[in-house]
Amino acid sequence: MTKKNADYLLKITPVGGVGQIGSNMTLVQSQKDCIIIDAGILFPYEDFFDINYLIPDLAHIPEPSHLVITHGHEDHIGAVVDVVKKFPKIQIIATPFTLALIRKKLEFNHLQAKLVEYKVSDELGFHEFNIYPIHVNHSIPETVGLLIKDQKEKMGLFFTSDFKIDHVSPYERPFDFQKLKRLSANLESRLLLCDSTNITSSALTTKGEAEIIPVMDELFQQAPERIFITCFSSNIHRLSTIINLAVKHNKKVVPYGRSMISYLNSANELGMIPNFEKAVRMPETVKGDTENLIVLLSGCQGDFRGTFRRFCMGEDSIFKPRPTDTVILSSKAIPGNEKKISLLLNKLAEVNCHIFTPQTHLVHVSGHPGRKDLLELFSEYKPHHIIPIHGETYFIREHIKFIQEEYPNAQTHYILNNDELTISQDLKLKTTQCEHFEPILIHGKGIEIQRPRISERRKLACNGAIFVSLKLSSTKAKVESFTYDYLGLPDLIHETDDKFNKFLNHYFITINFKDIEAATEDLRVAIRKYFDQSLGYKPMTTVHVL
């Protein structure tokens, strides 16, 4: 990021979420203020081998006073713990349900932070700007967009966060265009930071949550026996649909999996699940063979340690798939997880379960706007400037192309993570390309693992490893004994052990152990070459000389 430049009104820096899907975090600065909006994680987007998640690199941002959260998805709150560790004085501002989720996270990590609750009707005042929460629709309750206005009310910047437009949701009112328009109508300049997630989707309008209900109703009616449903645990409205239909069909709902139970309890504690007592039963109170069961499985992305996967693989101790089971995937694969999920469908198909997916039935709707929905927002808010956010670079470019073609009234601006968008006192916009920082990989007990270490892991996985130890005679003149181990190498290699032993013994004679370091490296290189000839690749080789 550049040094504080003279006299801007507002400076916006996406720290995460622009140029990638996830790890949403946006820095908003005025001369006197420095806050961040959201603190999300990024799910591993390429093969990082079992790491937990990625977070934006926090080393390069100034200390923010506040963290304002738009909604409780992991890609918006997952890095709260990391932010609190880095900036212990930060105040976290969120709506009740989101705050409940954050509180659990902090407790789990034995961390404390100043938490402040806000309601969508509130106004959040800072030194030089105010933030007006605007109710939007999404796939988790209490999602808000944020309208940021300078004190003089010349300029407004509407940060959509993730959103959709649902005019007929049974669970919440539609996107609050009225409030947005009321608060922005008289502004000289209206800016829009807008969700790009579904810009390449062929669905121009995103369907409403209500459209799932008759489909689920029919599937519940048809189901010969037990019903298993997997969806995002945070999709409380989806869970409500299922629980309400369970009451109608006289079935019991069992949340199964840590996150499913946790989200459902959080929502219920805030009174968001009216039929909870009537229909929901905890897994320890039911037997696997009860007929009238609807089991809600967490891990809809096929996660390796997830409940959905365990069920499909037949590895769960209570619930094993049966031909009479109905299995509904009420969620879509996040890009990268398609194959993992389809392999699980095969497992269910082997058993001959009744399988229903979003590809064949309307059992899932997206939480993001299609292109026509975007146009609806544009025509309501009438932005002068649009800056696409929340999307991979390709999506950001496609979004800009779309705006240029379909809403030429607005000027478009292209920024990625770490770049700056500056709004001057006279409301001119400037984008500045800055140094880009790679997200940080977190593994195990919340520990950063560096990319060169991931490269080592990749080499180990792709080429296997050989460990060789030698014991020199006291004069270092000869090798007294040696031993070696192969890891991850084909069994064939054991058949040629004699040859390898001969090779080593022959090599030891030629080598001078006076310079142990050089001798060790020579031997290491020679062993790699030796195996390359037979295997076609060089195992990672470590040699110890003692």
Report the site for its own copies in 328-357 (rule: CB under 8 A): 335-336, 338-340, 342-343, 345-350, 352, 355, 357
CA angle 392, 394, 396 (to 5 degrees): 70
The nearest distance, CB 422 to its own copies, in angstroms, is: 21
The nearest distance, CB 507 to its own copies, in angstroms, is: 18
The nearest distance, CB 84 to its own copies, in angstroms, is: 19
Name the E strands within 231-289.
252-256
3-state secondary structure 25-74: EEEEECCCCEEEECCCCECCCCCCCCCCEEECCHHHCCCCCEEECCCCCH
Residue 359 lies near its own copies (rule: CB under 8 A): yes
Given the rule CB under 8 A, which of 29-37, 139-147, 281-289, 448-456 is the region that contacts its own copies?
A: 448-456
Which of 2, 221, 409, 450 forms a contact with its own copies (CB under 8 A)? Answer: 450
The nearest distance, CB 23 to its own copies, in angstroms, is: 15
Distance between CA atoms of residues 222 and 395, nearest Å:
40
Q: Which of residues 186-205 bind its own copies (CB under 8 A)?
A: 200, 202
Spatial contact of 287 and 330, defined as CB atoms under 8 Å apart = no
Q: Which is nearer to its own copies, 243 or 396 (CB)?
A: 396
Binding mask 295-314 for its own copies (x = CB under 8 A): --------------------
Residue 448 lies near its own copies (rule: CB under 8 A): yes
Which of 5, 178, 409, 483 forms a contact with its own copies (CB under 8 A)? Answer: 483
Distance between CA atoms of residues 303 and 239, nearest Å:
20
Q: Which is nearer to its own copies, 248 or 453 (CB)?
A: 453
Distance between CA atoms of residues 144 and 138, nearest Å:
9
The nearest distance, CB 74 to its own copies, in angstroms, is: 18
The nearest distance, CB 453 to its own copies, in angstroms, is: 5
Q: Which is nearer to its own copies, 111 or 447 (CB)?
A: 447
Distance between CA atoms of residues 329 and 429, nearest Å:
44
Spatial contact of 452 and 428, defined as CB atoms under 8 Å apart = no
Which of 121, 250, 317, 360 forms a contact with its own copies (CB under 8 A)? Answer: 360
Residue 108 lies near its own copies (rule: CB under 8 A): no
Which of 470, 519, 523, 527 forms a contact with its own copies (CB under 8 A)? Answer: 470
Spatial contact of 298 and 230, defined as CB atoms under 8 Å apart = yes
Which of 33, 128, 153, 398 forms a contact with its own copies (CB under 8 A)? Answer: 398
Give the distance from CA 146 to its chain's centroid.
Answer: 21
Which of 203, 318, 460, 511 forms a contact with its own copies (CB under 8 A)? Answer: 460
Which of 447, 477, 518, 525 forms a contact with its own copies (CB under 8 A)? Answer: 447
Spatial contact of 88 and 473, defined as CB atoms under 8 Å apart = no
Residue 537 lies near its own copies (rule: CB under 8 A): yes
Q: Which is nearer to its own copies, 318 or 416 (CB)?
A: 416
Which of 7, 50, 315, 426 forms a contact with its own copies (CB under 8 A)? Answer: 50
DSSP 160-175: --S-B--TT-SSS---
3-state secondary structure 473-523: CCCCCCEEEEEEEEECCCCHHHHCHHHHHHHHHHHHHHCCCCCHHHHHHHH
Distance between CA atoms of residues 297 and 299, nearest Å:
7
Sheet-wide strand order for 53-55: 53-55, 440-443, 447-449
Q: Which is nearer to its own copies, 188 or 485 (CB)?
A: 485
CA angle 393, 398, 402 (to 5 degrees): 150
Which of 437, 467, 507, 508 forms a contact with its own copies (CB under 8 A)? Answer: 467
Q: Which of residues 403-432 bind its own copies (CB under 8 A)?
A: 416
Distance between CA atoms of residues 253 and 403, nearest Å:
44
The nearest distance, CB 102 to its own copies, in angstroms, is: 22
Residue 315 lies near its own copies (rule: CB under 8 A): no
C-beta atoms surrounding 147 within 10 Å: 24
Q: Which is nearer to its own copies, 151 or 450 (CB)?
A: 450
Spatial contact of 422 and 228, defined as CB atoms under 8 Å apart = no
The nearest distance, CB 9 to its own copies, in angstroms, is: 29
Q: Which of residues 30-49 bind its own copies (CB under 8 A)?
A: 45-47, 49
Distance between CA atoms of residues 23 and 58, nearest Å:
12
Residue 206 tokens, joined:
């995103």
Residue 546 lies near its own copies (rule: CB under 8 A): yes
Which of 458, 476, 478, 502 forms a contact with its own copies (CB under 8 A)? Answer: 458
Residue 229: partners with Cβ closer than 8 Å, 6 or more residues away: 242, 294, 295, 296, 297, 327, 328, 330
The nearest distance, CB 43 to its own copies, in angstroms, is: 10
Q: Which is nearer to its own copies, 116 or 349 (CB)?
A: 349
Q: Which is nearer to its own copies, 462 or 525 (CB)?
A: 462
The nearest distance, CB 209 to its own copies, in angstroms, is: 21
Q: Exposed/middle/buried for 285, CB within 10 Å: 0-12, 13-18, 19+?
A: exposed
Residue 250 lies near its own copies (rule: CB under 8 A): no
Q: Which is nearer to its own copies, 276 or 311 (CB)?
A: 311
Query: Locate tokens 């050989």: which residue?
Result: 466
| Distances 398 to 216, 392, 404, 410 between C-alpha atoms, Å | 34, 10, 10, 15
Q: Which of residues 131-160 bind its own copies (CB under 8 A)?
A: none
